Amino acid sequence: MEAGKVCFPKKYHRRPQQQLLEEKQRTKPPAISLHWLLFCLLLPSFSSCLSPAPMPTHESGEEWLIHYGYLPPADPTTGQLQTWEAVTTALRVMQRFAGIAETGILDNATLGLIWMPRCALPDITPNFPSEKANDIPVAFTCTFYFSHRVKSYPRRARLSRETMRVLIYYALKVWSEAIPLTFHEVGDHTADISVEFLQLDHHDSYPFDGPGGMVAHAFFPRDPQRAGTVHFDGDEEWTFRSPDDFGTDLFAVAIHEFGHSLGLAHSSSKHSIMHPYYQGPVGDPLQYQLHIEDHAEIQKLYGNTFPFCCFPPTQYPCSRLGKGFPDRCTSNIDAVAQIRGETFFFKDQYFWRLSQSRHLTSPQPALTTHFWQGLPSALHKVDAVYERPADHRILFFSGPLYWVFKDNSVEEGYPRPITDFGLPQGGISGAFSWPSDQKTYFFKGDLHWCYDETTRHIEEASPLLQESWEQFSSVDSVLSESDGTLYVFKGQQYWKFDQETLQLQAGYPRSIATDWLDCTIEPLRIMPTSPSLGVKLPPNFRGPQLKIEERVCFCAAFCAISSTLLNVLPWALLTLQGLA
């Protein structure tokens, strides 16, 4: 089975040290094969062929075209050479795919491509599947959610492990924003997508070659044993937003790799993230969006709405979904915060995460101390969390202490006492930063404090908020969105207040579980059965309301039943036709 083996170029190609030593020890010039002579005849002048200065000693010319799918393999039984016409045609196809002039000769631009490190997956794959995802015999089962895990990291890296984890998450999120799949990270379970940083020969038939050359590979969904496996070269200099001539951007490569994991081949479009040649950093993970071509191609496989049965799975049995975790559908929330445009709901030691489009990333909560490393492992509850507008630092409050994070990493010198803010040692119930007056508000019961982040002093709240504060007393949490809209959470309900007048909007309170945490769906429409079957159901029977965990289990059962019916139905119809 082919693997999406990605070799992204750097400014210079660096060959393995062992190969360089062997070349230095050679005393004779490499012989030029008959195949290569035929290939060189396509050059504008034969003199340039006689001095192939930077020409590789292997995988050159004809072999390069064969490897990347432009020429069929030579017949080993006859040893027949490729024809002039076949080589010329292959060159033109290769040039067209790469977006350079179709000369049909081995000109400088074409030589540059042959030398350029790139993806080892063939560009031309005649038998590449074009079916929809649910037609592909993948190794996954039916569910809306599936897991990922970073199993290992490079031994030496400029990027911290936390940064790598975040970039991996956002690379997956790029695809989940376009299709009905969501991803959640697991720490110690078998994951549906497994990410590893490995070196040289790692026993999967696709060895790495040190710095440069091949930097990563992924396996397609059709590979039942290795589907979901993604390997990055641990010898690469992984970077983020660095210049093109320094290192390789992990976020850009990861998006490409996960495209292969989801079933996409290479694209000839230079605008596509699936173009086989590395094109440098792609920008801010919070702002990056798929090119229209990639968006369309992935939706051809998975669609853009939630089907009953969809690829791929979480590996956990239905009976284990939610086991040992707080129930988001019945629990009161400890704290709510908007961080980097996403919404986080905290309960005990866990949190649920909603994307910018308010889609729950996983029905199971994640452990807060695993995501924000630096919080104490014994942390049992978070009182308040908010993102500081001035520098986008993330502040956690629990009891008499607070922590300041830059992304997922705690800054030095923390925790510190909350008395730094002029707050009492007894702790707070919540906090939010309100963009309307650029102040941060802390509250506990009927008490509230207005903190100026610039002067670092407690000040009087704005008159508008002072007049309305009684509406916010004794609440569990307050969420302030970037436009100034305030949401107040108490118990299992929430209220929405206008950002300009702070007046309660009509139609509230509403359910937190239903509106935010995806706890209910449309009821199953079970039709009353025929009296001849001996089963009587009330005419208005509509079936139970299902939580999302139950929906996943129902989906799996529905898939199994549907698959059986679809296999049996054609034979039943043929039998009926024969009887008729």
**Is 164 within any annotated ligand binding site?**
no
C-beta of residue 261 within 8 angstroms of C-beta of residue 230: yes
Pairwise CA distance, residues 80 & 253, whole Å: 39
pLDDT at 344: 93
Q: How many helices (H) and strands (E) does the chain have?
A: 13, 25
Q: How confident is the model at residue 127 (pLDDT cuts 50, 70, 90)?
A: low
**Is 256 within any annotated ligand binding site?**
yes
pLDDT, tens digit, 9 for 90 and up, residues 180-202: 888 888 776 678 899 999 989 88
Q: How confident is the model at residue 79 (pLDDT cuts 50, 70, 90)?
A: low
**Is 527 within any annotated ligand binding site?**
no
**Is 119 within any annotated ligand binding site?**
yes
24: its two tokens: 């230095």
C-beta of residue 8 within 8 angstroms of C-beta of residue 257: no
Q: Is the pLDDT of residue 12 over 60?
A: no
Pairwise CA distance, residues 141 & 558, whole Å: 12
Q: How confident is the model at residue 112 (pLDDT cuts 50, 70, 90)?
A: confident
Least confident span in 70-74, 257-261, 434-438, 442-446:
434-438
Largest Cα separation within the chain, whole Å, is: 92
| Most confident of the ranges 263-277, 320-334, 540-554 | 263-277
Q: Is the pLDDT of residue 89 over 80?
A: yes
Q: Is the pLDDT of residue 569 over 70?
A: no
69: its two tokens: 């799918």
Cα four-point dihedral sign 166, 172, 175, 179 = negative
For the chain, how big is the Rg over CA atoms in Å?
Answer: 29
C-beta of residue 477 within 8 angstroms of C-beta of residue 430: yes
**Is 75 within any annotated ligand binding site?**
no
pLDDT, tens digit, 9 for 90 and up, residues 382-431: 999 999 888 888 999 999 999 999 887 889 999 999 999 988 888 888 88
Query: If we measure between CA atoms, which residue out of 291, 265, 78 comes closest to residue 174?
Result: 291
306: its two tokens: 């939630």
CA dihedral angle for residue 373, residue 379, residue 380, residue 383, rounded to 10 degrees: -80
Pairwise CA distance, residues 526 & 542, whole Å: 6
527: its two tokens: 């039709």
pLDDT at 202: 84
Encode burial over 397-431: b for 16+ CB neighbours within 10 A, e otherwise. Answer: bbbbbbbbbeebebeeeebeebeebebeeebbbbb
**Is 429 within any annotated ligand binding site?**
yes
505 DSSP assignment: P
| Most confident of the ranges 81-90, 317-326, 503-512 | 503-512
Q: Which long-range contacts (CB under 8 A, 24 or more apart) does 51-55 make?
A: 54/115
Phi then psi dihedrals of residue 427, to 5 deg: 95, 180
Say which of 63, 162, 185, 257 is annotated catalytic. 257
Q: Give percent of the chain above pLDDT 70.
A: 66
**Is 192 within any annotated ligand binding site?**
yes
Specify whether 257 is catalytic.
yes
Q: Is the pTM higher than 0.75?
A: no
